[in-house]
Every structure is written in structure tokens, then in C-alpha cells.
Chain A
């Protein structure tokens, strides 16, 4: 995955709670065996609606997806992360993420910014009022800033995930550095567990 240190840009306000991964990418799209080409499937059931926010010209070119609470709940499909990323988003903001989605995001370098509910609500109102509002997400410091509305907030990011995002590190290669420990562990398992 590509390293990511700073995400800077405007945001699309998706003001709904409980946007599950079935909505982010409906199951028809899950039949593909490739890892690319999912941008067309992003919110495909909602995209036909003219007033769906992703179709609003005012938000064209946004690099941040601003969601409501419980974003990315439901199915484990990593396709949801691929679709968001391939559409052009580099970060997602919500006050609470579905845990598998959040984990999948970090494996692909999509920055999940889990902020306090008050911060998410303030941002939502601000971005709805001014689509050109600039937001800067700093992975190193785990902060989110929108100077125009005097907002500076931190978000939850563990040390190990921060390192992986900043370095674009491959988790499997990191784990294989512990190959000896895995061998030792395996040798100690009960024989009936194969």
C-alpha cells in the first residue's frame, strides 16, 4: 500500500447514520474477482437519485468522505474500502465506524478518522454550509483541522496503525519477521488440533 501522511482537501457530507457496507457497495459488485474497478459501484443504489450528495457538483473533487455515526457497519466486504478509495477518497470521517470496515481501511491506506460526535456534527454542518471548506488530516499527529471554522481535533489512531500508514508497510512482511515465533507456537499445539 502507498504511504499516507497528510490528506488535504474538501469533504462530501453524507448525513445519514448506520451507512452499512451493503449500501457502500451492493452485493452485485462482490462477484468480481479483481481488486480494481469498484468506483462505479460506490453507493450505486443511491447514485441514481439526483439529490444524492455524491452527485452534487458543489462537492466534486472532494478527497474526504464525511459520514454519520456507525459508518461501515455490517458485512466484512473489503470491497467497500476499495470502492471509496478508487472513487477518489483518501480519508473517511465518522464518530463511530464498524470495526471491520475501520480495520480494512487501515490495511489499504484509507485513513479512518474516528472523531468525537461533537466534532463530527460541527464538521457536518460546516461542510453542508460551505462545500469549499478545506480540511487537513495529519496522520503523524492524528489531528484534523479546518482553520476556516476554527476547528482542531484529534482522532483515535493507534501507534502501530500510524506507523503502518506512514510507512505504507505490508503487514504480512512485518509478521513474517516473527517466523521463528510462529514455528515455536505451532510446535506446542495439541496434536489433535492438527
Chain B
């Protein structure tokens, strides 16, 4: 069975979807039976997936073709306390030092620990105005899909591809199917962008997007802020999609206007005119379609060890025996065993040890505002460990200007320095064996937040409410 990389299904009437438009603008070279060679407008780099790529360049005597389209930051390994001290873990320190040396040698701009522009790679791209509609954005990181919120075609790549982009500013890419995920109606009060994407995961599961580029659309998506849209696109990879994107609109332009790398003056007007054409044409068709009624979306959490294992917080631990599919039943059994949960227990009775508010899913200013609104005037449950980790130096500064850090501190939350932190536990912020967390991040895999740790994915508002209640709770439960 041979598939043709060049094969592509266009709607018969010539109408194109948003992702097809962005794709087509970047084709450098196209030939039958070969993947298209796509030009890359923005390449984001971090310390974990780049050292072997820079090594490869050196070995083959190549240079970085476009240093000005390449930006690096330190995020995965950095500590979130005492950042004026050298990194204590020698292996982490070496990785960060290697990035610094590589950026220096190859002329790549780097935002280092302590710089106000440093932060999680997917937070800084947008906030510095580097991520723009219609761009192709790549990074050696699966959550690159975050940038799709701007109508960019943004996807994660492996280290070999990082090297490829560094050397050529292009990437060969086979065509993908298109997928429309439409959220109709209106979100009920108390439901957030995180709940929207958890609802998608609940419906399409971890494999439902494999082989596709997903476009999120419909009134619920249009009503979301840029922060909310980023939260939704961020988790596209969790249902297997290559990328997730949203058509740029007035909300997008307003967010971008005046940011450091955004076009200015006449360029701005030209850019906005152009960006406004980046919508799915009337009559364009998608290979897959999913429709979710937004009014049914409630606060959700994951209960298992993959992000498709989602239930409403008002519900209870599912019974594996109720799963019709043998594979899903097996996976549920193994998950409950790992998570230390028994079927039928109401989630609101499950005790939580640690609350983590952060990660490229939910560490932006709006996320911190949502959590602070819940924390305000309340106290964290005795014995609860909490970490509030802003996504970047700029988010931290903004939050402090608004006094959010004081609200958190007064309530008993631990206010930290920016980075990936407990999202993947490459720095000292880790769960210990058996410790249970309510986390605003994107992955609940076994050991993701530390060996033997038990992760439940939730929204920032739910995380804050849970920190106060001590068991899973929504803000409404606190009244």
C-alpha cells in the first residue's frame, strides 16, 4: 500500500479551507509523489530538543540560514525559585549552557533566565508579536499548535527537523487531511476555554485527530479571547492533530497591534488587509467534521492517564466495566490502578495534594486573573502544596502590576518565576510517588509531573477552587 505524498483533495469548487490557504502560500517546491517543501516563517527553539540539531549543523559544516527568523528561550529546565543562582542540577545546567553557546555561535537571539522576555516558548512567541496570522511556525515541541490561535499553521517537529529548518528555513511536509471542529451556541457561565478543549478530547479521544489539521470554529470559538484560543489550540496535539488553528479576526488584530514584532504604519494596514482573507471559503469542505454543542460544556477534569479520559467534575470515577471497547476498558483499568482511584467515587470527594497553575496551556495573564478571582479573600486548604508559575517574565510583571501576586500570596499560594515547571518536571518542581495534583497543564501521562505522580487536568478556575476546597471543586462549589 503506497500513499502519495503529493495527493491532496481540494473542494471541487476550488474553495479552500483556512489551513489550505496558509499551506499554499508557503510552498517553495512541489512535485508529484514528494512532500511539498514549505517555507518556515518562524522557528522557535528551546534547550531540550535543539542540542543534537546544532551538533548536526556543526558536523556537516552548515550554518543557520535565517537567524532573524529563529528565536530561542530557556524554559523546560529552568528553576522557578532563586533564579539569580546557577542552576543546581548539573545536567540541566549543562543543557542550558549548551543552548547559550549554540545561540552565540550561530547568531540566534536568545532570551535567558532572568530576562523579562524569557518564558515558555509558546507564551513568548505570541506576546512578543512574533506569531502572526498566516505564518508557518515550527518548534521542536509538540505544543507548537498553540500559535494556531492566530491563524498560523503551527506544528511541533522532532530534532532532525529542527536541524533541517535551521539549515534550510524549509521543511518537507506531506499533505494532511482537514478537520473542522465547530463549537456551536454559547458557553454556560463557569465554563472556560480549557473546558472547551477537554470537551473536544472527551468526544474525539486521543487518536481522533491523527493525520489532520484541525480548524476550530463557531460562535464559542469566536467569542474567546486570544488567551482562550491559545488554550484550545495548545491541546490539539492531545487528540493527535498535526496542528489546530482559528481564523484571525478583530480579536486577533487587537491583540497583536502595538506588540514589539508586529508590523507598524502602512505595513500594519497591509498586513491586516491580507490577514482578513485568511478564512475558510464558503463551500470549502473538510475531510472530517466534529460538532459540539457549546451549551453542554461544563467544567471538566481528566481522571486517567491520557488526556482523552475526561469527565465532568460533578461526576464520578467511571467504571471500566462500562466501556464497550476492550482496549478502552483495559486502558481504564490500568489508569485507575495507577491513579489510585476506585470506580464510583465522586470527584468532589477525591483529595488533592498539589495544585499547579501554569504551563503553555494556562499560564497567561487571563489564566492568572481567573485563578486570582477565585483565590481572592479565601485561603488554601491546610497542607495543600501550590505553585503558581507565570508563563513568562512579561506575564509575571503584568500580574504583579495588577496585584495578583498579592492575592495569591495572601491566600497561601506559592508565587514563582516563569518556566515550564511542574508541567513536565524537568526542573526541581516535581510530584512524588502517589502525590495527586490538579494541574492546568496539558498532559496527565504516567509520571509526567514526576515519577509516580497522579495528574488531573483542569482549568485555572477549577485549580484555584480545588486548592481552597482540598478536593476537586468548581468556583461555584465554594459559595
By a beta-carbon cutoff of 8 Å, the part of chain A in contact with chain B is: 16-18, 20, 22-23, 26-28, 30-35, 45, 68-70, 73-79, 81, 96-100, 103-104, 107-108, 142, 154-162, 171-172, 174-176, 178, 181-182, 185-186, 189-194
Contact among B5, B62, B448 for A22, CB-based, below 8 A: B448
Of B29-37, B345-353, B371-379, B399-407, the one contacting chain A is: B29-37
A107 touches B161 (CB 8 A): yes
A30 touches B48 (CB 8 A): yes
5 new A-B pairs (CB below 8 Å) besides A79-B159, A172-B164? A20-B306, A31-B94, A33-B52, A78-B52, A157-B3
Q: Decide if the interface of chain B is mainly helix, strand, loop or mixed.
A: loop
Whether A17 contacts B327 in the complex (CB less than 8 A), given A23-B446, A31-B95, comes out as yes
B51 touches A194 (CB 8 A): no
- In the complex, chain B residues whose CB is within 8 Å of the CB of A108: 160
Roughly how many angstroms separate A74 CA and B1 CA in the complex, as a whole number? Answer: 26
Contact among B55, B172, B242 for A99, CB-based, below 8 A: B242
Contact among A142, A161, A175 for B37, CB-based, below 8 A: A175
B446 touches A175 (CB 8 A): no
- In the complex, chain A residues whose CB is within 8 Å of the CB of B446: 22-23, 45
Whether A171 contacts B306 in the complex (CB less than 8 A), given A26-B451, A74-B142, A78-B159, comes out as no
- In the complex, chain A residues whose CB is within 8 Å of the CB of B160: 78, 104, 107-108, 171
- Nearest A-chain residue to B330, judged by Cβ: A17
B156 touches A18 (CB 8 A): no
B167 close to chain A: CB less than 8 A: yes
- In the complex, chain B residues whose CB is within 8 Å of the CB of A34: 51-52
Roughly how many angstroms separate A28 CA and B451 CA in the complex, as a whole number? Answer: 10
Chain B contact residue count (CB 8 A cutoff)? 77
B1 touches A175 (CB 8 A): no
Identify 24 residue pairs between A and B in the complex whose beta-carbon atoms are under 8 Å apart, listed by A's number: A18-B206, A22-B445, A23-B445, A30-B48, A31-B77, A31-B426, A32-B95, A33-B55, A34-B52, A45-B451, A75-B142, A78-B49, A96-B207, A98-B240, A104-B160, A157-B2, A159-B4, A160-B33, A172-B163, A178-B28, A182-B168, A185-B39, A189-B39, A192-B271
A158 touches B28 (CB 8 A): no
- Nearest A-chain residue to B57, judged by Cβ: A172
Roughly how many angstroms separate A27 CA and B449 CA in the complex, as a whole number? Answer: 9
Contact among B33, B91, B170, B240 for A175, CB-based, below 8 A: B170
By a beta-carbon cutoff of 8 Å, the part of chain B in contact with chain A is: 1-5, 28-29, 33-35, 37, 39, 41, 48-49, 51-52, 55, 60, 62, 68-69, 76-77, 89, 91-92, 94-95, 98, 132, 135, 140-142, 156-161, 163-164, 167-170, 172, 174, 206-207, 210-211, 237, 240, 242, 263, 267, 270-271, 274, 305-306, 327-328, 330-331, 334, 424-426, 443, 445-448, 451
- Nearest A-chain residue to B163, judged by Cβ: A172
Contact among B158, B263, B267 for A100, CB-based, below 8 A: B158
